[in-house]
Each structure stands twice: as C-alpha cells, then as structure tokens.
A and B are shown apart, each in its own frame.
Chain A
Amino acid sequence: MGRQIRNLGVFLVVLYAALFVQINRVTVFGAEQLRDNPNNNREIERDFAAPRGSVSTADGVVIAESVESTDPHSRFELQRVFPLNERYAHITGYYGFSVGASGLEREYNDELAGRTIDFDLQDVGDLFVDRERVGNLTLSVRDDVQRVAQEQLGAREGSVVALDPRSGGIYAMWSFPSFDPNPLSSNDLSAAATADSQLNEAEGNPKLSRAYQDRFFPGSTFKVVTATAGVERGGVTQNDPEYPQADSYTARGTTRPLNNFGGRTCGGTLFIILQQSCNSAFAQMGVEQVGPDGMVATAEAFGFNDDDVPIDLPSPTESVFPTEFEQDLPRLAQASIGQNDVSATPLQMALVAAAVANDGTIMEPYVVQEVRDDQDEVIDEADPDEWKTAMSPATSALLGEAMQSVVAEGSAVKLDDGLEGYEVGGKTGTAQLGTDPPRSHAWIIGFAGPPGETPHVAVAVLVEGQPGASEQTGGDVAAPIAAAVMRQVLEPGAGAGG
C-alpha cells in the first residue's frame, strides 16, 4: 500500500505541475494574445470606468473632460464631454466605448488614463490618500484663435491652420465640416453607434480633419517651394534671371503650352513674378533653372513625400510631389506651379510659410504643450524639435522679402488688413478644379510678426470649391480669414473682427 500511496502522490504532483504550466500560459506567455483578442473589452471598460484627465486650451478653456454621468441607466459612472462641441472635434477627437476613439483621446489615451504617470509615494500616508491618477493635457491651441478661425471660415468647406514657426506649436487648426464628438462618446451605446453610422455616411466626410488628414492641389501657393528651389539650386537671385513677358510657357519636346491665368502676359524678376503669380515664369524656372531632381529634392526638404508627419495626432497624411518625371518636362512645368499630381495638406502648406519665416527650418508641429498630473505638476512638456531644413537662412531672408512684397504690391494685399505695424508676408493660390462652371480651391499661406523679429505666426487657409477661377480668388476669399486669424494671434486683446 505504501508504494501505491507514494505513486498516487507523484501522480497528483504531476497533475498540479501541468496545472501550473497552464496557469503560466494564461497569465504570462499567452496573456498578450488574450488581451488583444477582439472579444476582450476589459481594457476599454477599465478606462471607461476610471477617472480620465481633461484637455484644456493654452488660454484655459476646458475642451474635454469627464463628468459624473447624469444618465441613471449608464453603464459607467463617468461621461466624457466636449463642451465646445464641433470646435475641437478634429483635435480632441471622440471617446466612444464601442465606436472607438480618435484624436488626442486616442493618441494620448495612456496619459489621460494616467498609465504613464509615475505615482510618487512621498510617504506611507499617500497609500491612503484618494488621488486621481490622471494626466491633464494643456494644448498650444488657443481658444480665441480657434474661435476666430471657425467664425471666419463659416459654413464653407475648407481649413485653417495657424502655428508658431519658431516652435511648431499649433495655435488653431479648424476645418469645416466638423462634427459634435458628444453623441459618439455617449454612454448610451446604441445612440453612439447610430451617431457614428450617420457621420460615416454624412456628406463631406466630417470625421476627417481636412487640415492634416486630407490633401488638395496647392495651386500657386506651391510657387514658394519652386522659388526656393530656384534660389537654392537654380542660381536664381533677386535680379536675375529676368523672365520674358509671355502669356504661356512651352517646355522643350512638346507643343502643348502652359497658359497664364486668363491668357495674361507676365514676366520679370523673382519678386515681380511672385507678386503676379506668373505661371509661365515659374514653369520655366522649374524646368530650366532647377530641373526634375532639384524640384523633387526641394519639395522633399519641405516635407513632401515623407509619410512620417511628426504631429502628435493620429493618422496624419503625407503631402505628395511627383518623383517620376523622367523626361516629361510639361509635367514638371505643371508641378512647378502646384498642379498635376502635386497635393498637400493645409498643415503642410502652413509649414511652407513657417519655413520661410523661421530661417528655413521647419519645426515639428504639435498641439499638446504640457501634460500635468492631478497635483498640477508638469510631468511632460512639448520639446520643440526640428523636422526639416527647407532652405538656408539667406534664401529664407530673400523669400521672406519676396513674400512681403506680395502682400505690399501683389495678389495678397488683403493679408495685412488690421495688421499695420507688423511685417506680413504671403502667397495666394487658386487651384482650378477643371469644372464647368469653373470652380477652384482658394488658398493663402503667410506669416506675420513684429518688425525685425522671427514672425510669431504662420498660416495656411484653404476654402474649397469657390466659384470662379481667377488668380484673385485666393486673395479675395482666403486672405481676410488668414489676416483675422493672425491678428488674433498677435493681438489677443483686440477682439475678433472689431
């Protein structure tokens, strides 16, 4: 009997050893797979039940926070609310249980939920203190500027981006149409699902941020890039060459001419052709002074074709400049004036203006300035970092002057309305959509700041599908919006439009 009892003991130990191995599999080795299983919603439930930090603008307006749910049937005690509704939908995003999360709610989920926060234990007493372990975000975005952007664009599809060229901090990023993140974030899960499917079918795709997740023909605003290429790689200076007065440009090896707007005749030196937004001259510059390799290299130095757009928001899209020209010079001529396959996000075009403003250096754009813990201690801070060197400081000085002359005497005269006493530079754009009746995207990019200083603000404004196709569209439609936004940045006390 003794031997059998010992064997029984061994047998039971073997069973328990197998059990131990299996427990290791579920708790440790296979745990990752189990946590990622689509049936597993424990993590998101945990986040939903847990306190979550708030998001505030630089001027202290709360734009996302968790409050006690007033719904007696709510599954969760807390409800995420976005007090300014549409205004920040593309920045904060939404925070839904089954519809998922977007924007900062998604990108900064760990910070908001407090998972990245080191919980300092000062003494044993802290163990028993009821602290909310959350992170609160403070943005570089200013509500006064964002509000002006929203009001100025109004009910026109388009986008406004304003940022600080010196740091990359974004002051305002608005695009229309937008959406209200509150229904999507509702604790009433079926209401949230309904709101989500309605938005997904809505016209104009309001869930998409036109500012950084969609791209458009940049039109003549792209001439700033071509001018940079001309100066840096094509030997173009302020006075030389002097482009011929022409109504079109015909590249070698083709009989198809590229026409100026309305068959107008233009030409001259760099400042003149930029002021006039002269297609024939810039097409010639791109083809003859710079060439395909130089155009691609310069466009990429501005950030085109880089799919790793370094903004702290999810799913940014890259801007595109074609690279395969081979000997297709007419195509290069078109690309040099921002047509053909060139497409850019409004954010990218704001960064083009910022490069000129900031000695040729593009800073990484960001919206989150600081992460603070519940005791208001800063635990993480935006660390401005260079993204691209688009041009040399000498080139940026020359182009800065050229863009100021566009505001002084060229197509962007409305850009300095209300900005007397500041140095303002800009470039308009009208990207024809080839429709009948003619419609075009009206663009402007620009910068402004106190004289003698690096400009404090760079902007890009896009107003989509405007009637007409004259070069003046960008200057008439987009410039006043950009002027109002820049004025709000530079003179917060003056009040919008007043």
Chain B
Amino acid sequence: MIGAVRRNTELGLLVLSTLFTVGAYVLASLPEDGTIPANIGPFLAIFVGLQLLAHVAMRRLAPRADGMLLPLASLLAGLGYVFIVRIDEARDNPDGLAGLQSLWLAVGVGAFIGTLVLVRDVRALERLRYTAGLAGIALLLLPLVPGVGQTINGSKIWVSFGPVNFQPGEFAKIALAVFFAGYLNEKKELLRVSKEIGRIPVPDPKHLGPVLVAWGASLIVMVAERDLGSSLLFFALFLVLIWVATERASYLAVGALLFAAGATFAHAQFGHVRERVDIWLDPWPVAQDEGFQVVQSAFAFADGGITGRGLGLGVPDKIPEVETDFIFAAIGEELGLLGAAAVLIAFLLIIGAGLRIATRSSNGFERLLATGLTTLIGLQAFIIMGGVVRLMPLTGVTLPFVSYGGSSLIANFVLMALLLRISDDSVRRAEDRLAALDQTQMAG
C-alpha cells in the first residue's frame, strides 16, 4: 500500500529531477555555440537509463522505502554532472572530467543496486560491527602505507593500486558508522551509567575509553593525513552517536572540551592548520597566494548575486580545484543565491528524510546507523559549503553527489542504499505487526 504510493512519488520526482538536469545540460552548452549539444541523445539515454534502473531496483528490492531520497540524490548528482561539463567547457578541455564522472555515476548506481541486493537486512551488519570497525580503521590508515598511499595537494588521502586511484576515507566513514552504531547499541546501557562529581554527572571514566580512542583516531587522521575535514567528520559522527545512544548530553560536553583541546593543540603545533584558520579569519593579505581559492570563491558568489550569471556564463576555471572542493562556488556564480539555496534545501530534505527514517525505526542499531549516515552526509555537505563561503575554515571534503570524484560518488550511493534499506525494513516490520494484529483481532 504505502509502498505503491512511495514508489509512484519517487517516479514523479525522478521525472522532475531528470527534466531539470536535461534542461540545465542544454542551457549550459548554449552560450558556447548557440546550439543544442550534439551528444544530447547518448546523454539522455545514459542519464534516464541509470535513473530508471535505480527506480526499478527500488520497486523490486526496497518497495516500501522512502520515496524522496533517490530523487534528491539524482537531482544533486545531475546538477554536479552539469557543472563538471561546464568546468570542462570553461577549461577548453572536451576530454576532461565529465566522461569519467558519467562512468562514476554508472558505477555508483551499480553500487547502489548492489548494496540493496547484498544487504537484505541491515541488522545482519550489526553482527559484522567489529569487522566493519577493523575495515574502517584499515581503510583510514591505508594511505599511510608506503608504496600504496599517494600525497595529492598536501593531503595523504589517496591510495593507488595500479591504474586505480581512490580515497579510502570515503568508504571508511560508512564502515565506521556501522561499527559505531553496532558498538554503541551494544554498550549503551553501560555508557549511560554516570558518576556524580560534585553535582555534575560525568560518565564513568572507564567508559570514556571509546571516546578517547575516537578522538585520538581523528587526531591521527588530521595530523598524519592532513585531512582536517574527515577528521572533524569522524569525531562529530562518533560524538553524535554516543549522545543519541546514551541520551547523555554530558558526552557532548566532554566531546566539545576534547575538540577544543585538540583544535588548540593542532593550531599551535601544525602550520597547515594555522594557515587554514588564518585564511579563514582574513584572506586578503594572501589573496594572491594561499588565500587565492577562498578569495576567488567569494568573487564568484559576488558575481552570482541573487539569480546568478546564468548557466554557462560564469568563469568556474578561475578557481583551482573547482570540480571537487569548490564546486559549490561554481554553482553560486552561475545560479546565484537561488541556486545555492536550492542545494541547501536539497541537503536539508535529505537530512529530514534520513532522521525521519531513524526515528521511525524500531530497532536500536538501525536507528543509530540511520542517524549516523544522515549525520555524515549532512555534516560533510555543511563542512565543505561552510568552508567555501568562509563561514568556517576550509577543510577539503567533497560535496556529496555534486563534487567530481568516483570514491565520493560511489560511497554516497552506498550510504543512500543503506538508508533506504533501513527505511524499507522498518515499514515492512510495521506492516507485519499490523497484519499480525489484524490476524489476532480476527482470531479474537
């Protein structure tokens, strides 16, 4: 019942997001030569085909799941693809990134369907929590292994096996979310026990161990891999989950203190951290050097104004690495405040849908996992968008679904599939209970 309604909503929304993407693709190409792009046929076929595939998979594999998440992901991925086409155009590089991004999109949809096929019941993952934890830590540390790890733009977050480069951190975050959810679901009763020092309740020191481990791990990521964004993300993920699991706000307080201590320490000890903070506070003295990206990004937004310069009419190539960290600035330039706000709203809707899935689930592990996955995507988007508009220091992470990059795209599609699987599970169980109740009533 509810499944049919949700799938039809999903189909309708997917049609809308496809119309948007195709329209934007055509518009973005117009200013270049004034004609409709020649490859519109293949583009349409691939894009519509992928969405149709994902939608049919949903009907088959998770028919009762939330109907908004997939169209939102499709909208953001479509928008990102159009802007990557734009960036190729602006750089006069027709064999640039767009072709690869469409490949990653296809692999991402494949991973999405694969996840739905393989993970028929999310609770099965709970049993794998320690495996997931080990896998997560292994993935996190992989870039530090000599010969495998690659340093790109100062960050050690890449690994390469032969011709394949990827960022294991993108997958580590999902594995760690699974581990944290499983671990905390298991230990939440213990962790709720608190002592009172004076009149202030504090967690039992022996249960603080996990918090300290998470804190230390994220510091290692920050220091050894110079990946501030991911470090912040992992720590926030753990903090949110321990708070939600234990319902003890004191963990938040302890976490905030540890964060402040870690941040102060890092600022004092590490030049790359200090540099980011200085640029955030005042980029103008270094506007032609270290602050160039942030300053150019601000100029791009200023050029955009309320309605933007129009698709295809900006100069995204002025910002280094615009295709990954700074794609939001390209959107702000060409689509303006309105386009940027639309992206914000899309992420807010994902957060809303994700947290709704979490609250509606009756299973503790599923609740924590849904909360964790939603936090990951919502916070990651905030961290990078906030850095790009200078609301906070810039820490390079990708904008989920929008930025160029295979690892990020594939990982986020897997994340989305897990959320949808949880959604489908909880509705199915609710329907089962309802049916059982009906049976009982009929029997009675």
Report how far A34 CA is from B379 CA in the complex, Å.
28
B391 at the interface (CB under 8 A from A): yes
* B-facing residues in A112-159 (Cβ within 8 Å): 128-130
Chain A residues in 8 Å Cβ range of B284 = 37, 39
B415 at the interface (CB under 8 A from A): no
In the assembled complex, how far is the CB of residue A188 from the closest CB belonging to chain B, in whole angstroms?
A: 20
Report how far A46 CA is from B386 CA in the complex, Å.
28
Report how far A31 CA is from B301 CA in the complex, Å.
8
- Assess whether A5 is in contact with B371, with CB atoms less than 8 Å apart: yes
* A-facing residues in B345-359 (Cβ within 8 Å): 347-348, 351-352, 355, 358-359
> 0/1 per residue, A5-29, Cβ < 8 Å to B?
1101100110110111011111110
- Assess whether B247 is in contact with A1, with CB atoms less than 8 Å apart: yes
Contact of A23 among B299, B341, B364 (CB under 8 A): B341
A45 at the interface (CB under 8 A from B): yes
B336 at the interface (CB under 8 A from A): yes
Report how far A18 CA is from B295 CA in the complex, Å.
20
* B-facing residues in A23-49 (Cβ within 8 Å): 23-28, 30-32, 34-35, 37, 39-40, 42, 45-46
In the assembled complex, how far is the CB of residue B362 from the closest CB belonging to chain A, in whole angstroms?
A: 11
Report how far A34 CA is from B305 CA in the complex, Å.
11
- Assess whether B288 is in contact with A26, with CB atoms less than 8 Å apart: no
* A-facing residues in B386-431 (Cβ within 8 Å): 386, 389-391
| Given A31-B301, A34-B298: A5 in contact with B355 (beta carbons within 8 A) | yes
Chain A residues in 8 Å Cβ range of B385 = 19
Contact of B301 among A1, A2, A4, A27 (CB under 8 A): A27
* B-facing residues in A456-470 (Cβ within 8 Å): none
Chain A residues in 8 Å Cβ range of B336 = 27
A3 at the interface (CB under 8 A from B): yes
B378 at the interface (CB under 8 A from A): yes
B340 at the interface (CB under 8 A from A): yes
- Assess whether A39 is in contact with B287, with CB atoms less than 8 Å apart: yes
- Assess whether A8 is in contact with B295, with CB atoms less than 8 Å apart: no
Contact of A22 among B247, B315, B389 (CB under 8 A): B389
Report how far A35 CA is from B332 CA in the complex, Å.
15
- Assess whether A42 is in contact with B318, with CB atoms less than 8 Å apart: yes
Chain B residues in 8 Å Cβ range of A22 = 386, 389-391
B290 at the interface (CB under 8 A from A): no
- Jot down 29 A-B pairs with beta carbons below 8 A, ordered by A: A1-B247, A1-B364, A1-B368, A2-B359, A5-B355, A5-B367, A6-B359, A9-B352, A12-B348, A13-B351, A18-B386, A18-B391, A19-B344, A19-B386, A19-B389, A22-B386, A23-B337, A23-B340, A26-B302, A27-B302, A27-B304, A31-B302, A31-B303, A34-B298, A34-B302, A35-B302, A40-B302, A42-B315, A46-B315
- Besides the contacts A1-B359, A129-B34, what 14 more A-B pairs have beta carbons closer than 8 Å? A3-B247, A4-B244, A5-B244, A5-B359, A5-B367, A8-B244, A12-B348, A12-B378, A19-B382, A19-B385, A26-B302, A37-B299, A42-B315, A130-B34
Chain A residue with the shortest CB-CB distance to B297:
A26
B240 at the interface (CB under 8 A from A): yes
Q: How many residues of B contact A (CB 8 A)?
A: 48
Chain B residue with the shortest CB-CB distance to A35:
B302
The 4 closest A-B pairs by CB, nearest first: A34-B302, A26-B301, A31-B302, A27-B337
Report how far A246 CA is from B381 CA in the complex, Å.
93
- Assess whether A8 is in contact with B332, with CB atoms less than 8 Å apart: no
Chain B residues in 8 Å Cβ range of A18 = 386, 391
* A-facing residues in B239-262 (Cβ within 8 Å): 240, 243-245, 247
- Assess whether B386 is in contact with A27, with CB atoms less than 8 Å apart: no
B375 at the interface (CB under 8 A from A): yes
Contact of B389 among A8, A23, A39, A128 (CB under 8 A): A23
Chain A residue with the shortest CB-CB distance to B360:
A2
- List residues of chain B with CB under 8 Å of any chain A CB: 30, 34-35, 240, 243-245, 247, 284, 287-288, 295, 298-299, 301-306, 315, 318, 332, 336-337, 340-341, 344, 347-348, 351-352, 355, 358-359, 364, 367-368, 371, 375, 378-379, 382, 385-386, 389-391
- Assess whether B355 is in contact with A8, with CB atoms less than 8 Å apart: yes
- Assess whether B367 is in contact with A1, with CB atoms less than 8 Å apart: yes
In the assembled complex, how far is the CB of residue A397 from the closest CB belonging to chain B, in whole angstroms?
A: 58
- Assess whether A16 is in contact with B359, with CB atoms less than 8 Å apart: no
- Assess whether B332 is in contact with A12, with CB atoms less than 8 Å apart: no
| Given A3-B247, A8-B244: A26 in contact with B359 (beta carbons within 8 A) | no
Report how far A129 CA is from B378 CA in the complex, Å.
43
Chain B residues in 8 Å Cβ range of A9 = 351-352, 355
Contact of B382 among A1, A15, A24 (CB under 8 A): A15
- Assess whether A16 is in contact with B287, with CB atoms less than 8 Å apart: no
Report how far A26 CA is from B297 CA in the complex, Å.
9
- Assess whether B359 is in contact with A8, with CB atoms less than 8 Å apart: no
Chain A residues in 8 Å Cβ range of B341 = 20, 23
Chain A residues in 8 Å Cβ range of B30 = 128
- Assess whether B378 is in contact with A26, with CB atoms less than 8 Å apart: no
In the assembled complex, how far is the CB of residue A423 from the closest CB belonging to chain B, in whole angstroms?
A: 58
Chain B residues in 8 Å Cβ range of A42 = 299, 303, 315, 318
In the assembled complex, how far is the CB of residue B340 from the closest CB belonging to chain A, in whole angstroms?
A: 5
In the assembled complex, how far is the CB of residue A468 from the closest CB belonging to chain B, in whole angstroms?
A: 57
- Assess whether B355 is in contact with A19, with CB atoms less than 8 Å apart: no
Report how far A3 CA is from B35 CA in the complex, Å.
54
Contact of B379 among A4, A12, A27, A45 (CB under 8 A): A12
Report how far A371 CA is from B117 CA in the complex, Å.
67
Report how far A3 CA is from B371 CA in the complex, Å.
12
Of B35, B364, B382, the most chain A CB neighbours within 10 A belong to B382
Contact of B344 among A1, A5, A16 (CB under 8 A): A16
- Assess whether B295 is in contact with A16, with CB atoms less than 8 Å apart: no
Chain A residues in 8 Å Cβ range of B332 = 23, 26-27
Report how far A26 CA is from B305 CA in the complex, Å.
8
- Assess whether B243 is in contact with A4, with CB atoms less than 8 Å apart: yes
Report how far A128 CA is from B33 CA in the complex, Å.
10
Report how far A485 CA is from B284 CA in the complex, Å.
55
Chain B residues in 8 Å Cβ range of A19 = 344, 382, 385-386, 389, 391
Report how far A287 CA is from B319 CA in the complex, Å.
70
In the assembled complex, how far is the CB of residue B41 from the closest CB belonging to chain A, in whole angstroms?
A: 19
Report how far A26 CA is from B301 CA in the complex, Å.
6
Chain B residue with the shortest CB-CB distance to A8:
B240
Of B30, B244, B306, B315, the most chain A CB neighbours within 10 A belong to B244
- Assess whether B299 is in contact with A1, with CB atoms less than 8 Å apart: no
Of A19, A22, A26, A37, the most chain B CB neighbours within 10 A belong to A26
Chain A residue with the shortest CB-CB distance to B336:
A27
Report how far A31 CA is from B389 CA in the complex, Å.
12
Chain A residues in 8 Å Cβ range of B35 = 128
- Assess whether B344 is in contact with A20, with CB atoms less than 8 Å apart: yes
In the assembled complex, how far is the CB of residue A75 from the closest CB belonging to chain B, in whole angstroms?
A: 12
- Assess whether B302 is in contact with A16, with CB atoms less than 8 Å apart: no
Chain A residues in 8 Å Cβ range of B358 = 5
In the assembled complex, how far is the CB of residue A128 from the closest CB belonging to chain B, in whole angstroms?
A: 6
In the assembled complex, how far is the CB of residue B284 from the closest CB belonging to chain A, in whole angstroms?
A: 7
Chain A residue with the shortest CB-CB distance to B306:
A28
- Assess whether B306 is in contact with A128, with CB atoms less than 8 Å apart: no
Contact of B348 among A2, A8, A16, A39 (CB under 8 A): A16
- Assess whether A45 is in contact with B340, with CB atoms less than 8 Å apart: no
- Assess whether B303 is in contact with A35, with CB atoms less than 8 Å apart: yes
- Assess whether B382 is in contact with A28, with CB atoms less than 8 Å apart: no
- Assess whether B302 is in contact with A8, with CB atoms less than 8 Å apart: no
Report how far A31 CA is from B336 CA in the complex, Å.
11
